[in-house]
Structure 1
Amino acid sequence: MRVLTTALALIPLALPALAQDVDRGERLYFQHCAVCHGEIAEGGGPMAEVLTVPPSDLTQIAARRDGAFPVIEIARLIDGRDPILTHGGEMPIFGFVFGEFNVVLRERGGGTLLTSREVVDLVGWLETVQVE
């Protein structure tokens, strides 16, 4: 039974990663993120002035990392697996909102992460708004 359970748990890792839907990612951003991070993802959303720590400029993620966009790191922050210290914890409930981890996200360097379709799409859109 344990072998069967382990085998079933590994099936998603063998599946090909689905392409990102950046249009859907943009819609998700405006529904869930723009209130803090702003309409152009630079940190100036309507809630920014009442937050203790200002939201980060999401267009500079790659610039802050020598031009590399860390797909898996950003996905782990959004889905709540890695706490964001300036938030005082996890991203506000989005791990719960974006729920089911059933999609494999692949990084250019070969790393993989099992996450949700919504997180994959949102990360895909965030990668498109990076500026130097």
Structure 2
Amino acid sequence: MSRVAEIVSVITALGLTAGIAAAQDAEIGKTLYDDYCAACHGAGAQGDGDMANLMTIPAPNLTLLANNNDGEFPMLQVLHIIDGRTGVRAHGGAMPVFGKVFASSEMGPANPYGSVLEVRGRVLSLAMYLESLQK
């Protein structure tokens, strides 16, 4: 069973599929990529974005993540890089930590957990989009 299938199975068991299903929509992942990643990694995720020539450390080609990992997409590693649990140096400092960027401080009846589920849904959507780009 793939890691994504395991994640979906756990979410289903918890009864949270309705809210998470929308977060996993491929269009959400693409939109997040276009808004937050394409400037450095390029529209095609090949490391050739408009900002790439300004970076001291080249932006990696994100379409080769599975190829560089014995043919298996490193989902957990990608999730940790996106949300900031694993530091990545770029342009002289850390890659932007999107776990913080995606966070909302709003809590209330519609969002009793703060933004934890929303952040995780966005990070997962972005990672799933990157998985769909693998060559």
Rounded Cα–Cα distance in structure 2 between residues aligned with 1:63 and 1:73 = 14
2:116 corresponds to: 101
Aligned residues: CA RMSD: 2.1
Match of 1:32 among 10, 33, 36: 36
Rounded Cα–Cα distance in structure 2 between residues aligned with 1:46 and 1:85 = 18
Rounded Cα–Cα distance in structure 2 between residues aligned with 1:90 and 1:75 = 16
Q: Give TM-score scaled by structure 1 length.
A: 0.72
Q: Is the 8 A contact 1:62 1:69 kept in 2?
A: yes
1:89 is displaced (CA, Å) by: 5.4
Q: Give TM-score scaled by structure 2 length.
A: 0.71
1:87 is displaced (CA, Å) by: 5.9
For residues 46-80 of structure 1, give each alpha carbon's deviation from its aligned partner in whole angstroms, at most 9, with x where no partner exists: 00001001100000000000110111110110000
Runs of 5+ consecutive residues of structure 2 not aligned to the other structure: 1-10, 104-114
Higher helix share: 2
For residues 81-105 of structure 1, give each alpha carbon's deviation from its aligned partner in whole angstroms, at most 9, with x where no partner exists: 11114565543131211223327xx
How many residue pairs align between the two structures? 108
Runs of 5+ consecutive residues of structure 1 not aligned to the other structure: 1-11, 104-114
Percent same amino acid at aligned positions?
Answer: 42
